[in-house]
Amino acid sequence: MTKRYWWIIITYIVCQLSGLILGTPLLNFIPIEQRSGAWVVFSFLVTLIITLLLLLPERKMHKNIKRANTTETITWAIAGIFLIYITQVVASVIDVSLLGEPPKSENTEQIMDLVRITPFAAFVVAIVGPILEEIIFRKIIFGWISKKTNVWIGAIISALLFALLHMDKHIIIYGGIGCTLAFLYVKTKRIIVPIIAHCSLNTFALIMTFTPAIQDLLEKQQQTVHFLRGLL
């Protein structure tokens, strides 16, 4: 793994741990109920900028790698949106049936609570976060492990790390999503494709949470999960 990639990973880890300063006087100028959300937005934006700057040299590299053309990229980006949603539903059925876990995710609920308090944090949830996670887990970790071993091992390990990052009991769901995103990256060799799929999934979660008219759709999805669980 190149030093550039290590610096990106270190920057991301620092970003994740930077919330520890919330208890210090440094952020006293921000209303206490909005400090967490404001810091998430600031730290993630800074991390994204640093990450993109570190990746700039790669614009002139890997020109010999066969990648999906524009049409294929658009096709897979659209297909990926449906594929990742299907993966989430199927993984939810397995998760509820085998492990008996409740359909709701504690991690997702915590994030949505943060957005309710600090609405502009939605930009990080829908866009910035997925971009960083795809660069870290698919481009860097999956890419490196798959080169050292094979695609299957790379996909499984990167997906498990992706699941553990979210500190949620729904390992099967996050792991399944991680494997699907790795599949999209392998098929196209373009990180933008899993980024689009990941962003769409998070955006859809935000819409379902904050649009009352779509709450019924969410409830029906949960009913479907319970119905399929009964069949299994």
How many CB atoms within 10 Å of residue 216? 10
Give the separation between CA 202 and CA 130, rounded to whole angstroms: 8
| Residue 166 annotated among the catalytic residues of the structure | yes
pLDDT digits (tens, 9 = 90+) for 152-194: 999 889 888 887 877 667 788 888 888 999 999 999 999 999 9
Residue 77 and residue 194 in contact, taking contact as beta carbons nearer than 8 Å = no
Q: Distance of alpha carbon 164 from its chain centroid, rounded?
A: 12
Residue among 133, 134, 170, 198 flagged as catalytic: 133
pLDDT digits (tens, 9 = 90+) for 125-155: 899 999 999 999 999 999 999 989 898 999 8
Give the separation between CA 193 and CA 145, rounded to whole angstroms: 20
83: pLDDT strictly greater than 90: yes
* Tokens at 167, concatenated: 């500190």
* Tokens at 133, concatenated: 């996670």
Residue 29: CA atoms inside 13 Å, Cβ hemisphere, count? 2
pLDDT digits (tens, 9 = 90+) for 213-224: 455 555 655 555
Residue 95 and residue 15 in contact, taking contact as beta carbons nearer than 8 Å = no
Higher pLDDT, 34 or 226: 34
227: pLDDT strictly greater than 60: no
The Cα-based distances of 132 to 13, 93, 126 in angstroms read 11, 28, 11
pLDDT digits (tens, 9 = 90+) for 1-48: 788 999 999 999 988 887 766 555 556 656 666 667 778 888 899 999
- Spatial CA neighbour of 188 closest among 74, 101, 27, 95: 74
- Spatial CA neighbour of 181 closest among 147, 131, 123: 131
Record the pTM: 0.82
Mean pLDDT rounded to a whole number for the chain: 81
The Cα-based distances of 72 to 19, 67, 77, 142, 194 in angstroms read 40, 9, 8, 22, 13
| Residue 109 annotated among the catalytic residues of the structure | no
Residue among 134, 166, 170, 198 flagged as catalytic: 166
pLDDT digits (tens, 9 = 90+) for 54-79: 998 877 766 667 888 889 999 999 99
